[in-house]
Amino acid sequence: MTNSKRAEAEPRPRADGFAPIRDYAAIGDGRAVAMVARDGAIDWLCLPDLDSPSVFGALLDAEEGGSFELRPSMPYQVERRYRPGTNVLETTFHTDGGVARVVDAMTTAGPGLAPFRELARRVEGLAGDVSLSWRIEPRFGYAQATTRIGRRLGIPVATAGARAVAVQCWNAGEAATDQVSIGGSLNVRAGESALIALSAADQEPLVFSSREQVEARIDATARAWADWSGARDYDGHWGEAVIRSALALKLLVYAPSGAVAAAATTSLPEEIGGERNWDYRFCWVRDSAFTLGAFLGLGCAEDAHAYFWWLMQASQLTKPRLRVLYRLDGGADAPERTLPLNGYRASRPVRIGNAAAAQLQLDTYGELLQTAWLYATSGHRIDRDIARRLAEMADLVCRIWRHPDAGIWEVRSRSRHFTQSKMMCWVALDRAGDLARRGLIPDRHAQRWAREAQAIRDFVETRCFSHEKRSYVRHPDSDELDASLLLGVLLSYGDPRSDRWAGTIEALRRELGNGPFVHRYSGEDGVEGSEGAFLTCSFWLAEALARSGRVEDAVELMDQLVELSNDVGLYSEEVELATGALLGNLPQGLSHLALIGAALAVTEAMAA
Partner 1 sequence: MNAWGALAGGFAGTLVLTTTLRAANELNLTRMDLPFLLGTAFTADRTRAKALGYILHFLVGLVFALIYYAIFVAIGHSGWWLGAVFGLAHGLFSGTALVDTLLPLVHPRMGTRSTAAPSVALLEPPGFLMLNYGAQTPLVSLAAHIGYGALVGGFISLAS
The DSSP code for 98 is E
List C-alpha distances in Å: 466 to 82, 462, 477: 47, 9, 8
98 or 297: CB nearest partner 1: 297
Which span sits near partner 1 by CB under 8 A: 34-42, 158-166, 301-309, 574-582?
Answer: 301-309
Rounded to whole angstroms, the Cα distance separating 455 from 449 reads 10
Residue 137's φ and ψ, nearest 5 degrees, are -125, 90
User: Mask 532-561, x = binds partner 1 (CB under 8 A)?
Assistant: ------------------------------
Neighbours of 20 (CB within 10 A): 18
Amino acid at 206: L
140 or 254: CB nearest partner 1: 254
108 or 359: CB nearest partner 1: 108
Rounded to whole angstroms, the Cα distance separating 156 from 26 reads 26
- Member of 303, 363, 410, 531 binding partner 1 (CB under 8 A): 303
Whether the CA torsion 93, 94, 96, 98 is positive or negative: it is: positive
Whole-number minimum distance, CB 398 to partner 1, in Å? 20
Whole-number minimum distance, CB 40 to partner 1, in Å? 23
309 or 465: CB nearest partner 1: 309
Q: Is the Cβ–Cβ distance between 571 and 555 less than 8 Å?
A: no
Q: Identify residues 121-160 at the interface with partner 1 (CB under 8 A).
A: none
146 or 316: CB nearest partner 1: 316
Whole-number minimum distance, CB 388 to partner 1, in Å? 11
User: Mask 77-116, x = binds partner 1 (CB under 8 A)?
Assistant: ----------x--------------------xx----x-x
The DSSP code for 594 is H
Q: Identify residues 20-79 at the interface with partner 1 (CB under 8 A).
A: 28-31, 48
Rounded to whole angstroms, the Cα distance separating 300 from 292 reads 9
Q: How many CA atoms lie within 13 A of 300 on its CB side?
A: 26
Does 385 contact partner 1 by CB under 8 A? yes
Q: Identify residues 174-213 at the interface with partner 1 (CB under 8 A).
A: 202
Q: Identify residues 235-274 at the interface with partner 1 (CB under 8 A).
A: 250-251, 253, 255-259
Q: Identify residues 402-421 at the interface with partner 1 (CB under 8 A).
A: none
Whole-number minimum distance, CB 117 to partner 1, in Å? 9
Rounded to whole angstroms, the Cα distance separating 520 from 537 reads 7
307 or 365: CB nearest partner 1: 307
Whole-number minimum distance, CB 61 to partner 1, in Å? 28
Whole-number minimum distance, CB 257 to partner 1, in Å? 4
Which span sits near partner 1 by CB under 8 A: 58-66, 327-335, 366-374, 509-517?
Answer: 327-335
Rounded to whole angstroms, the Cα distance separating 43 from 31 reads 17
- Member of 283, 306, 558, 594 binding partner 1 (CB under 8 A): 306
Q: 523: exposed, middle or buried (C-beta count within 10 Å: 0-12, 13-18, 19+)?
A: middle
Q: Is the Cβ–Cβ distance between 553 and 534 less than 8 Å?
A: no
- Member of 329, 524, 552, 563 binding partner 1 (CB under 8 A): 329
108 or 421: CB nearest partner 1: 108
Rounded to whole angstroms, the Cα distance separating 311 from 319 reads 12
Shortest CA distance to 328 belongs to which of 72, 66, 51, 592?
Answer: 51
**Size of residue set near partner 1 by CB under 8 A:** 43
Whole-number minimum distance, CB 397 to partner 1, in Å? 18
Whole-number minimum distance, CB 288 to partner 1, in Å? 16
Whether the CA torsion 66, 71, 75, 81 is positive or negative: it is: negative
List C-alpha distances in Å: 260 to 219, 254, 288, 326, 428: 26, 6, 9, 10, 22
Rounded to whole angstroms, the Cα distance separating 261 from 249 reads 9
Rounded to whole angstroms, the Cα distance separating 130 from 375 reads 53
197: helix, strand or coil:
strand
Shortest CA distance to 388 belongs to which of 331, 328, 320, 460?
Answer: 320
User: Mask 217-236, x = binds partner 1 (CB under 8 A)?
Assistant: -------xx-xx--------
Which span sits near partner 1 by CB under 8 A: 63-71, 148-156, 328-336, 520-528?
Answer: 328-336
Task: Give me the residues that bind partner 1 (CB under 8 A), please.
Answer: 28-31, 48, 87, 108-109, 114, 116, 202, 224-225, 227-228, 250-251, 253, 255-259, 302-303, 305-306, 309-310, 313-314, 316-319, 329-331, 381, 383-386
